[in-house]
Amino acid sequence: MTTTTPPAGIDHDKLMGFVFRAVDEVGATLNTALVVMGDRLGLYQAMAGAGPLTPAELAQRTGTAERYVREWLNAQAAGGYVDYDPDSGRYTLPAEHAIALTDASSPAYLPGFFQIALGSVLDSPRITEVAKTGQGLGWHEHGQDVFDGCERFFRPGYNANLVTAWLPALDGVVAKLQRGATVADVGCGHGASTILMAQAFPASTFAGSDYHEGSIATARQRAAEAGVSDRVRFEVAGASAYSGSGYDLVTMFDCLHDMGDPFGAARHVAQSLKPDGTWMIVEPAAGDRIEDNFNPVGRAFYSFSTLLCTPASLSQDVGLALGAQAGEARIRDVVTGAGLTRFRRVSETPFNLVFEARP
């Protein structure tokens, strides 16, 4: 790279350090597409547990073209995703990386994270346009990678924590579910959380709702495949308009901050709960101060908030736009503003905070 004398007062080393950091970030951005590519072509799956492979061997295993596979492997090796042995010309996927890239049952499973990131980046030109006016872009207006990637990213965390940790942390809720409770899962998307609860608590009934018609169609299909359609129903409805009342439990997973009118949604929850009912709110992990979120997780969630969450809220009535990094204090304000008097954090993971709210 050609260098010139920087203007007075500029630290040349600091400038070039930033330039090369930016180069690394461009590589990471491009790698998002390469991870999705590797996932879709089965490249990671074919490497998992296979030991060292040449590009030709991996191409043969996956029915792909060797020349593309060779470049893909070199990019993966340069990024530290796979190991490369220059003496043999072979590449190995470390066992730890294989878990994160191929094991959908692991809470460390990452392909969905990359998929929703890719979908967000592909939709970014439209966000750039609405940012000029302050208008929004609805969740339903995004591409399929956003919908599918969202579920694939959050579902492993739900599988690992919802039944074993989050629900037991709520006061008396598991006992109700075991006896037979009524549950509303609001903003259910593809129904992963709804179906998981239905499978764990066969005596209870569940009502999932989401304003996105396409997600509800997928949720109904998934419930039928899981054999729980007799105890689970899904409806197309916004968070302030889902049907039913007298619920023992209302749940919201990673969606309250996306709503245009979270206070209105909270009031509807309060009206739909039994007097001794519980509202479980799962939100992205965030501190209350902006600087608390200057870390890798906070950076990712602020980015998703810019491209997905804030536009979604601004596209709706009120358009409060809490943002993905709302934090506990702002969620508390929403809950208490609806007249619910009891609020506490009951659990957390590196990606989520879990709150309990009660009348």
Measured CA to CA in angstroms, residue 341 lies from 84, 149, 278, 283, 337 at distances of: 58, 35, 11, 19, 9
pTM score = 0.91
**Tally of helices (H runs) and strands (E runs) in the chain:** 15, 9
pLDDT beyond 90 at 4: no
Instruction: State the average pLDDT over residues 139-151.
Output: 95
> Residue 228 pLDDT more than 70?
yes
Q: Rounded to whole angstroms, how far apart are CA atoms 275 and 43?
A: 53
% of residues, the chain, pLDDT over 90? 97
What's the mean pLDDT in 10-35?
93
Q: Tell me the sheet residues that pair with 250.
A: 184, 279
How many residues does the structure list for the chain? 359
At 232, is the secondary structure helix, strand, or coil? strand
Neighbours of 212 (CB within 10 A): 20
Confidence of residue 9 (pLDDT cuts 50, 70, 90): confident
C-alpha closest to that of 285 among 244, 331, 241: 331
If you average pLDDT over residues 147-159, what whole number do you get? 94
Task: Give me the mean pLDDT over the 32-48 stretch.
Answer: 98
Domains and CATH numbers, the chain: 12-102 (1.10.10.10), 113-358 (3.40.50.150)
pLDDT at 3 over 80: no
On the question of pLDDT at 351 being above 60, the answer is: yes
Confidence of residue 75 (pLDDT cuts 50, 70, 90): very high
Query: What is the distance between the terminal CA atoms of the chain, rounded to a whole angstrom?
Result: 63
Residues 109-132: tens digit of each pLDDT: 999 999 999 999 999 999 999 999
Tens digit of each residue's pLDDT (9 = 90 or more) over 174-217 = 999 999 999 999 999 999 999 999 999 999 999 999 999 999 99
Please say if the pLDDT value at position 64 is more than 60: yes
Question: pLDDT tens digit string along 284-334?
Answer: 999 999 999 999 999 999 999 999 999 999 999 999 999 999 999 999 999
- Give residue-wise pLDDT tens across range 245-280: 999 999 999 999 999 999 999 999 999 999 999 999
Residue 116 burial class via C-beta count within 10 angstroms: exposed 0-12, middle 13-18, buried 19 and up: buried
- Find the radius of gyration of the CA atoms of the chain: 23
